[in-house]
Structure 1
Amino acid sequence: MAKITTIIDIGSNSMRMVVLQKSSRFAFHLINETKSRVKISEGCYENNGNLQELPMQRAFNSLKSFLNISKSLKSRKVICVATSALRDAPNSKVFLTRVKKELGLSIKIINGEKEAYYGGVAALNLLHNNEFVTIDIGGGSTEFCFIKDAVIQKTISLDIGTVRLNEIFFGKGNIKEAKEYIKKNIEKIFELGIDIPKVAVGIGGSIRAVTKVIMKNRSYNLDVLHGYTYTVQEQKDLISRIINANNSDELKALGIKKDRFDTIKEGTFIFNAILEELKIEKVITSGVGVREGVYLCDLLRNSNHKFPSNFNVSVRSLLDRFEVDSNQSAYFGNNAAKIFEVLKPLHNLDDKFKTFLIVASKLHSIGTTLNFYKVNDNAFNFILNGLNYDFLHTSRVIVAHTIKFSKKSLPTKKDLFEYKELLPSLETMQWMSFMISLNLMINQDFSKPKVEYELDGETLNIKLPEYSFLIESSLDKLEKPNNLNIEIL
């Protein structure tokens, strides 16, 4: 696969492009993301599904600009897919032929099931969850991918997109008919004969816009959409306020951006109807979708479109680009696991914290690459936004804080106040701080010593291969949790 790859997705409402760069066999990161609201399907549902000249010209012009960006970034591979608008249009060949002839770009029209599959592949690989349904609301259709035990079970596409329903129902004030149309279409899901998960992964611009309103309303302090989770019951009132907003001023006051005014009410209406009919209890917002799914199907074509077990693409990508020494990173990770296990009778933490400790220990050194001074703060700020995939918000905040407090003193309640909503107890974070600090101190001369640990009551015995004044003097200053004692042998 090419080192730099461009994926373009032509939807009914928006055309989107991502440019992704590989850093190793399976790891990659985003180097460009561009969106254009071309509304290629505008007017088509009132004209027997035919694409209209002006929207086609907008789409053509945007594609030309997208390809200029791709070329400038030295992308060696371009994959372009088109969804509902072009697959439904009787005259789509006119547009496809012109693009191929004048821009040299082949557009692949994918069916609804394939579109749903791509969304499922993206969510399955780039979010930590094993059972959910993806809901991808577009301009012409909405796609669903049902996943159980980390395996894609079924996919389905329904003709209930925002642009389609606006032209057929909403624009004419036929709200009741729209609700009945959506409900009738959703019956096709129940005919699949599968168990409906209680968790939905929301994909697409409309759902992300709803999430932004929820985050603003809660004064949420982490400005990251991907992985943001909320319960449907808690947000019922806010969702209703979006649907029932009377004008653009009310939408603006809720936090809706101007470029969403024309579709947000319809999109939220569709989303709410789906949540009600499927009895969804929790929503996880996805920052990835069809484009990332297309990329992953290409990248993982020889591994059943799934990453290897225990592979974390964000961690690997950051290490590929910023780690100082791969051998040192590996040592810190292994030593973190040993420290966590030997102290388990005292800290009693769930094994997920072992994973967080290992990740934090491996990533600690990237702060040095950014700037040697204030290394912990550099890494903290970078990690909060740098762990783009695989991590829910609680996970990335725990990892970032573990790195930030990898120093002699333990964090206080005041230190954790800003992100208290996403952090575990103070005692837990003090244990995490102590364990990573101990880990870094043991290898502060980068000699990767073969250390043995043994817990005797509340005393941790550390057996070093040879005496180290650096380690001994540092440990004397290290604040320890719960009256823990340390003896160096």
Structure 2
Amino acid sequence: MTSKRFGIIDIGSNSIRLVIYEQTENGAYRVIDESKASARLSGHIDADGRLPHSGIQLIIETLAYFKMLCEASRAYSIRAVATAAVRNAGNSGEIVQAVEEASGIKVEILSGHEEARYGYLGVRNTLDIAEGFIVDIGGGSTEISYFKDRHLLHSVSFPFGSVNTAKQFLKNGNLDEEDLSKIRSMAIKAMEGEPWIRKAPGLPLIGLGGTIRSVSKIDQKAKKYSLGLTHNYQMAAQDVTQWLQSLRAMPLDKRRKVQGLAKERADIIVPGLVIMQAVFQHTAASHYVISGSGLRDGLFFQTVRPERPEADEVLEASVRNLMALHPAMPHAHVEQVNRLSLTLFDALQSRFGLSRRARSYVHTASLLYRIGVTIHYYQYAKHTFYVMAHSRIDGLSHREILICAMIASYKTKSRTRALYSEHKDILAESDLDLIVKLGTLLQLAIAFDRSETQPVTRLDAVLAEHTLSLTLYAGHDAAIEWKEAEAVGKEFTKQWGLSLTADLRMEP
């Protein structure tokens, strides 16, 4: 299999976006480029419900530019889809024909249910949430979906979004109380026609699209959030309500200067948030979860894995993908370290009250601890921390990403304490002790394969009252491992409060 590149184009009601994905020879994938044009197609729709020539020409010019970007990146497979603005236009057939003839790119018009399905797929493969609602507020439509046990059960598309709602209700970029109530009533009336939306209270509301991403970035800037990730960022109801009130009270010129808010979204953010809040209240959701993965990601998964686009386990798939993107890592070594560290964890879990989730931290950290070497060997632990903390390990919360990155890059307790102090806004006080314990456990497992030749074929670990007794079975010379373990064992003993004994046995 050779490396392949795919261009995914989303002709949305507010913006037209291109994302170029690469699938490497070993099956890993990543985004290598993206571009965006703020088209506001919903705002171009005339009184007869048609997209005029100016709007069609805007799509043609944008796709011609995107096609050049794809060709420059050698992304010869292009998939373009259109959503609400084109779907609901009275001349949708004319639009598609004109765009295809001028650009040479085939355009699919997605139904509302298809749009919701692809958005759900992007969420399902990147967030480890078993049940919840998804809301995707675009420029010309709003999709709401409900999933349970990681299966999509219901979805609906409503013909209102941030752009066409702004066009209908805003006056000079502002929204008065009467029009705010009208937007909320419009959304509630539409949702009341779908009784399933109210039948599962207390679940997270996962937000897609520019409205919720923008408010999350504003919130992070205001709070000086210490991690530069939007995906899986969580917000309480009162935070979104506060930003809605604050942004609505600002004149448009001042809104354009708010940190975290793109200038081109300043005039449509408030109507979008009113719809978002109405959905939150109608579903009786518990909190907001922001997803950085949605329609375009879902289209990519469907394109490269048409028979089975769904990932089985989000965290495992994400970790394995990250490993595959760094083939210079010593894979046999980290797999060995993974096996040894989990054996040690299992021996200690019950006595120390370690959770099953903590085991997944060890699993993740042990597989990724050498990823920093692919940048530079010297100070690779620092590189490992940075790569892990900023690579969006799907299936982990932001707190858990930091925990895993700190375990993987563990060297000393003082260095860990310094890292912890930089992220006290995200980490809990109890996390420091857990990181130190699991970090020293990982260091001991690493010592048992210091030569990276996998001499240890089996490790038996038995926990007595104050002693952890280890028996190592070796298939070839393990002198390097034995010497390394002596040094690391002292730190392990100090942090765990256990005496450590080890017996090395050569297998015949």
TM-score (norm 1): 0.93
Aligned residue for 2:205, secondary structure, equals strand
1:215 matches 2:216: no
| Per-residue deviation, 1:244 | 2.9
User: What are the residue-to-residue correspondences of 1:250-269 with 2, within 5 Å?
Assistant: 250-253=255-258, 255-269=260-274
Whole-Å separation in 2 of the counterparts to 1:246 and 1:177: 20
Return 289-298 or 199-208, whichever deviates more.
Answer: 289-298
User: What are the residue-to-residue correspondences of 1:23-62 with 2, within 5 Å?
Assistant: 23=24, 27-44=28-45, 46-62=46-62
The answer to whether the 8 A contact 1:27-1:313 is kept is no
The answer to whether the 8 A contact 1:243-1:269 is kept is no
Aligned residue for 1:6, secondary structure, equals strand
> Which residue of the partner structure matches residue 154 of structure 1?
154
Give the 3 Å change call, closer, same or farther, for CA 157–476 of structure 1 in structure 2. closer
Whole-Å separation in 2 of the counterparts to 1:382 and 1:410: 21
The answer to whether the 8 A contact 2:361-2:404 is kept is yes
| Per-residue deviation, 1:476 | 4.8
> Which residue of the partner structure matches residue 328 of structure 1?
333
> Which residue of the partner structure matches residue 467 of structure 2?
459
> Which residue of the partner structure matches residue 487 of structure 1?
501
Deviation track 1:330-382 (CA, whole Å, cap 9, x = no partner) reads 21221121111011134321111111111111111111111000010011011
The answer to whether the 8 A contact 1:410-1:434 is kept is no
Pairing partner for 1:441 from 440, 447, 454: 447
> Which residue of the partner structure matches residue 130 of structure 1?
130
User: What are the residue-to-residue correspondences of 1:57-72 with 2, within 5 Å?
Assistant: 57-72=57-72
The Cα RMSD (Å) is: 2.2
> Which residue of the partner structure matches residue 438 of structure 2?
432
What is the percentage of aligned positions where both structures have the same residue? 24
Whole-Å separation in 2 of the counterparts to 1:102 and 1:352: 53
The answer to whether the 8 A contact 1:337-1:358 is kept is yes
TM-score (norm 2): 0.90
Return 5+ residue gaps in structure 2 as ranges: 504-508
> Which residue of the partner structure matches residue 398 of structure 1?
403
Aligned residue for 2:423, secondary structure, equals helix
> Which residue of the partner structure matches residue 14 of structure 1?
15
> Which residue of the partner structure matches residue 166 of structure 2?
166
Whole-Å separation in 2 of the counterparts to 1:432 and 1:191: 44
| Per-residue deviation, 1:316 | 1.7
The answer to whether the 8 A contact 1:42-1:55 is kept is no
Whole-Å separation in 1 of the counterparts to 2:202 and 2:4: 37
Deviation track 1:406-456 (CA, whole Å, cap 9, x = no partner) reads x35576544411112333412211111111111111111113212222212
Whole-Å separation in 2 of the counterparts to 1:347 and 1:64: 61
> Which residue of the partner structure matches residue 80 of structure 1?
80
Whole-Å separation in 2 of the counterparts to 1:179 and 1:409: 52
Aligned residue for 1:202, secondary structure, equals strand
> Which residue of the partner structure matches residue 349 of structure 2?
344
Give the 3 Å change call, closer, same or farther, for CA 347–292 of structure 1 in structure 2. same
> Which residue of the partner structure matches residue 474 of structure 1?
487
Whole-Å separation in 2 of the counterparts to 1:465 and 1:103: 65
The one-letter amino acid paired with 1:488 is A
Aligned residue for 1:308, secondary structure, equals coil
Aligned residue for 2:134, secondary structure, equals strand
The one-letter amino acid paired with 2:83 is T
Aligned residue for 2:425, secondary structure, equals helix
Give the 3 Å change call, closer, same or farther, for CA 310–263 of structure 1 in structure 2. closer
Whole-Å separation in 2 of the counterparts to 1:309 and 1:204: 24
The one-letter amino acid paired with 2:142 is T
Give the 3 Å change call, closer, same or farther, for CA 65–353 of structure 1 in structure 2. same
The answer to whether the 8 A contact 2:365-2:407 is kept is yes
The answer to whether the 8 A contact 1:118-1:294 is kept is yes
Aligned residue for 1:146, secondary structure, equals strand
Whole-Å separation in 2 of the counterparts to 1:229 and 1:243: 22
Give the 3 Å change call, closer, same or farther, for CA 310–193 of structure 1 in structure 2. closer
Whole-Å separation in 1 of the counterparts to 2:394 and 2:21: 13
Whole-Å separation in 2 of the counterparts to 1:300 and 1:12: 27
| Per-residue deviation, 1:178 | 2.5
User: What are the residue-to-residue correspondences of 1:289-308 with 2, within 5 Å?
Assistant: 289-303=294-308, 305-308=309-312
1:421 matches 2:406: no
